[in-house]
Copies of this chain bind each other. A is one copy, B any other.
Amino acid sequence: MSMKKKTSYLSLFRYLVSALFILVLTSESMLAQEASQELFTVNNTWMLVATFLVFIMHLGFACLESGLTQSKNTANILFKNTTIVAIGLVTYAFVGFNLMYPGDFSIGQFFGFAGFGLDPGVDGNTVAYADGAYTYWTDFIFQAMFAATGATIVSGAVAERIKLSSFLVFVTIFVALVYTIAGSWKWGGGWLDQMGFYDFAGSTLVHSVGGWGALAGVIVLGPRIGKYVDGRIKGIAGHSMPLAAIGVFLLWLGWFGFNGGSVLSADPELVSLVFVTTCLAAATGIIGAMLTSWFVQNKPDLSMVLNGMLAGLVGITAGADTVSVNAAMLIGLVAGIIVVGSVLLIDRAKLDDPVGAISVHLVCGIWGTLAVGIFSVNPDHSFVTQLIGVLSYGAFVFPAALVIFYGVKATLGLRVSEEEELRGLDVSEHGMKAYGG
């Protein structure tokens, strides 16, 4: 046997071993890539499911708000809720998304803007987005649906007396600038995020923000005619409890996506935990409001129970992924109790909020955000930081909403005439009636 042949065996050996290594490593990396392609597809699909669930909340708000108000203003409310979705999505595409997720901040960690419009390519490089959890388009449409809900919350509180065109101007500015800049502080990676403030799905970023806007609107507008007469509170009953009930059930349905989608992936353990905490908080919110209403009002009030469900949902939203199921039940129960008291107190304070938006979204939004500081299993979450977050959002959003409302009032006028209010906005603003022959 010659040396040459031996060498050639050894070369062959080396060559083959190298080839095998390459083959193994390549196949491994190819398969790992395919595997992650599959997780990517599942995650993205779940986020899209969450998107259509959040979308359905707009129908939920439309039903709830029109159900809890008078039939002479129904078409007006439906009109507002339909156009809010449109305004929310379009402004979010033009400026909102890039204000809320600016990437780099330009003024401290308070404000940044990544430019106008969306990545216009049909097949741009969107796959690699968000560490492979979902595409650029998914991120945009999920967040855009959220944005529009923030504005809708205001709509119910100012119902039955606000001028349509003025409201649309307010909503456009509020959803395009206020909601988004405030949102960037936490979800965009801004100063509150870096401070350790936690708001999982938006007890503060969505619900309190909408609630502060609602409070500002109610103050600037004043109460509906006939609501507070000679220092006495007169109830103005909603015209359709079935519509209101359809509304809150659709809102709960939407919350599966609102909270479930805020996991930002289909992570089995986190999404399912969030489903459990969310549903149990809604359930105890119902029970808390039922018992409180039965005790305080003597008879159990349906609208209180419906608001109790929403109170529980708003309350759990900030910490749905970071509290135990028992804590979730307690958070919902307390929210259900709080909301009944809040609705009664706000009415006594002569703040006329026809649908209870301030109590549900602002008061329970604050409660839920603070509850993270109390019940979170994550030791990094602190009550003080949560309180700072709550106060900071109030300090920015409430004055901002006041400024916009007063600005609109000074220019376009904010409220319909007394005659128009008494006839109802359906006829005066739209020349139609919501119910016919």
User: A residues bordering B, Cβ < 8 Å?
Assistant: 1, 3, 6, 9-10, 13, 16-17, 20-21, 23-24, 27-28, 30-32, 34-35, 37-46, 48-49, 51-53, 55-56, 58-59, 62-63, 66, 70-72, 74-75, 78-79, 81-83, 85-87, 89-90, 93, 117-118, 120-123, 126-127, 134-138, 140-141, 144-145, 164, 237-243, 245-246, 248-250, 252-253, 256, 260, 266-269, 271-273, 275-276, 279-280, 282-284, 286-287, 290, 297-303, 305-306, 309, 322-326, 329, 377, 429-437
Can you identify 17 A-B contacts, CB atoms within 8 angstroms?
Answer: A9-B13, A20-B24, A23-B24, A27-B31, A42-B42, A51-B275, A52-B53, A56-B253, A72-B437, A82-B286, A82-B305, A83-B287, A86-B286, A89-B280, A120-B325, A138-B275, A241-B432
Query: Are the C-beta atoms of B20 and A82 separated by less than 8 Å?
Result: no
Other-chain residue from B120, B249, B272, B282 in contact with A134 (beta carbon distance below 8 A): B272
Other-chain residue from B1, B56, B123, B242 in contact with A243 (beta carbon distance below 8 A): B242
Known A20-B21, A35-B31; contact A324-B122, beta-carbon cutoff 8 A: yes
Query: Are the C-beta atoms of A266 and B93 separated by less than 8 Å?
Result: no
Query: Are the C-beta atoms of B45 and A266 separated by less than 8 Å?
Result: yes
Identical subunits present: 3
Of listed A86, A300, A323, A435, residue having the most chain B CB within 10 A: A86
Query: Are the C-beta atoms of A272 and B138 separated by less than 8 Å?
Result: yes
Known A17-B16, A240-B242; contact A79-B39, beta-carbon cutoff 8 A: no
